[in-house]
Structure 1
Amino acid sequence: MADSSAGAWPAGYRVRPATAADTDAVHRLVGAGERALHGLVTTDADRVAADLGMAGGAPAGDTVLVTGPAGDPAAWGWVRGRRASVHVHPGHRGRGLGTALLAWSEARARELGGDRLAQTISDSDLAAAALLRSGGYARMVTEWLLELPMPAEPVVPRPPAGITVRTFRAGDEQAAYRLTEDAFDEWQQRRKPYAEWARLTVGRATFAPEASPLAFEGDRLVGVVLSLDPGAGAGTADGVAAGPVPGTDLVAGAPDGGEGYVERVAVRRDRRDRGIARLLLHEAFRAFYSRGRRSCVLWTHSDTGALGLYERIGMTVRRGSTVYGRALVAG
């Protein structure tokens, strides 16, 4: 850890880079915070492993794990591009760790050449939101976690003329990557390299190809849904994401257990407004129902304009988050 950040930590705490070997410890830490805020864990270990995997080839200073006087994980965070994420264990709040993590993330972002930094905060976490606002951060966009109860098997609409649907299979990875990244170019800050995209989607242990339908017009791929099934492993109108955090590369963690999770949806720009996204979503919902799931969830955000689509197909908002950002100045 760089000397410039080591001196900012409260007395009695030890600081080091986080590694893939810390996946379980970090997952417990994040889960404790989510349980305190929401009453359940909303990020699975698979998501944490993906974050740490992405940091694996980065400089050690891009991640930090803070342990308490008894050696227990107290806080952790990472910085990547214009994004940061930090978590403090509920048992260690009120001791200055949030302020220290914020200072560390900004210093590291400057070292990486960043001119802006953003973080996503649950609307339930009033203390974290107040800390960011006091540090000059302003609201950028709002995110919503939407849910669809499935007491009965979802009815799948008829495909639009000329459109056929099948489930994801080996060999579809590169085509799905190109289509989703082309669609997300409208709002994401950078285009992800394939290896990073795969680590967040088809390469995850919880990826559910049976609940990931693809739409074709002839031989051409025109629509994609990629889903995760967290229970099996233990973002999004046409062309926008059901999952990636707004303006970032990241995906909000899939909620616990018995729910299906639609991680992202994309439709070719020239084939939108034909009902393809609605068709694919219902195909995914039906696949999850057949797997014993009785609800499905996904994330969307205010930049996509997708909220109305989800509400029309019967989804409702479970909770919200806000992305806060600020410009960074030299030094």
Structure 2
Amino acid sequence: MTSLVPALPAGYRSRPATVDDVPAIHALVLECEREVYGRGQSDVGAVAADLVRPGLVAESDTVVVLDGAGRLVARAWVDRRSEVDVHPEHRGRGLGAALLGWTVARARQAGVARVVQTVPDADTAAVALLRGHGYEPLVTAWLLEFPLSAEPSVPEPLAGITVRSFRPGDAAATHVLVQDAFDEWQERRQSYEEWAAHTVERSAFAPGRSALAFAGDQLVGAALALDVPGTGEGYVEQVAVRRDHRGRGIARLLLRHTFRAFHHAGLDACTLWTHSDTGALDLYLRVGMTVRHSSTVFRKDLGA
């Protein structure tokens, strides 16, 4: 199948992304985040993990855009989900529209029923672009934060529950726990390899600040933490509690353990993302977190 090429404005050229592009893509993403949020918040591991998503073929499902000097100024990928980023200095020239059109065309070519993309609500131009191309809101996502200026209190231990840090050998059981817990709202179960690439195998993974809860020898809860270099903040990638142990305060206990570990590391805050399909926003607010900013996940149905 012939790879699609985006119809770019004059002065730009495109090619598929490669692993060698990861540092430049990461720098681009940070610039886009600073433009919208006033700070960068992504680590390079997240960019690298996206390029090895199961089912994504870099040659046909990714694009990077270079300017006349050969600098990487935009990128896009699509595999049911999609992402498009354009450097702030190169916006307003049609690159975003060209790459958005490419993601839709590539998704249609691949026979995908719909494509989704997450856009910060503060990026009004991007929101307008997606709406103008027939995208509709699907769910709301929130970035929450917990300040670490003072040492966070940790609840008293729960009866029959022990908490310890993540250790080598915990990964397989944690993968099963997370997939079982997320079955209620995620479209599909992730293989161990896909899940690990976004969590325990990332260079930013912080096992000593990731808390696991056990009932006897059974893993019943996990809070997986990341150190995000250059931000002065910790990040919780995933929180999961086994269904038959919910409502006991295990998630709150795990989060507070993780917050305290980040405080002891001298960090300023801990953040995490959640979205409206999970139903977890109230839990995080009760733990003491507040919403820093919001995004919307948009979808475009492509038909059969």
Q: Do these two structures clear the TM 0.5 threshold for a shared fold by scoring above it?
A: yes
Q: Which residue of 1 aligns with 2:5?
A: 5
Q: Distance in 2 between matches of 1:44 and 1:214?
A: 23
Alignment CA distance shift 1:200-1:113 (3 Å): same
Residue number in structure 2 paired with 1:60: 59
Instruction: Tell me the TM-score normalized by structure 2.
Output: 0.96
- Counterpart of 1:92? 90
- State percent identity of aligned pairs: 58
Q: How many residues align?
A: 304
Q: Is the 8 A contact 2:26 2:43 kept in 1?
A: yes
Q: List 4+ stretches of structure 1 deviating above 6 A.
A: none
Q: Secondary structure at the match of 2:97?
A: helix
Query: Which residue in the other structure is 1:35 paired with?
Result: 34
Superposed, 1:126-165 pairs within 5 Å as 126-165=124-163
Q: Deviations over 1:170-229 (max 9, x none)?
A: 000000000001111111111111111000000000100011111010111100110001
Contact 2:74/2:86 (<8 A) preserved: yes
Deviations 1:298-320 (A, max 9, x none): 11111122111111121111111
- Counterpart contact for 2:226–2:236, Cα < 8 Å: yes
- Residue aligning to 1:76: 75
Residues in 2 aligned to 1:68 and 1:87: alpha-carbon distance in whole angstroms: 14
Paired residues of 1:5 and 1:107 also in contact (CA < 8 A): no
**Alignment check: 8 A CA contact 2:209 2:262 kept:** yes
| TM, length-normalised to structure 1 | 0.88
Unaligned runs of 5+ in 1: 232-255
Post-superposition offset of 1:57: 6.7
* 1:252 corresponding residue in structure 2: none
**Equivalent-residue separation in structure 2 for 1:263 and 1:173 (angstroms):** 14
In structure 1, C-alpha distance between the alignment counterparts of 2:217 and 2:278, rounded to whole Å:
28
Match in the other structure for 2:110: 112
Q: Does the CA-based 8 Å contact 2:16-2:58 persist in structure 1?
A: no
Out of 277, 291, 294, the position equivalent to 1:303 is 277
Sort the Cα spacing of 1:227 and 1:169 in 2 relative to 1 into closer, same or farther, 3 A.
same
Deviation of 1:112 (Å): 2.1
From 191, 197, 204, give the equivalent of 1:206.
204
RMSD: 1.6
Contact 1:19–1:56 (8 Å) recurs in 2: no
Among 123, 126, 148, the alignment partner of 1:125 is 123
User: Per-residue deviation at 1:39?
Assistant: 1.2
1:25-73 superposed Cα distances (whole Å, 9 cap, x missing partner): 1111111111111111121222212222337972511110011122111
- Deviation (angstroms), 1:143: 0.7
Residues 19/55 of structure 1: CA separation in 2 closer, same or farther (3 Å cut): farther
Instruction: Specify the code of the residue in structure 1 equivalent to 2:5.
Output: S
Please say if residues 153 and 256 of structure 2, whose CA atoms lie closer than 8 Å, have aligned partners that are also in contact. Answer: yes
Structure 1 CA distance for aligned equivalents of residues 285 and 56 of structure 2: 40
Structure 2 counterpart SS, 1:54: coil
Query: Secondary structure, in 3 states, of the residue corresponding to 1:265?
Result: strand
Q: Can you give the 5+ residue segments of structure 2 that lack an aligned partner in the other structure?
A: none
Aligned counterpart for 2:255 among listed residues 281, 284, 301: 281
The residue aligned with 1:190 is 188
- How far is the alpha carbon of 1:161 from its aligned partner? 1.0
Q: 2:72 is matched by which residue type in structure 1?
A: P
Which whole-Å CA distance do the structure 2 matches of 1:55 and 1:86 have between them?
Answer: 19
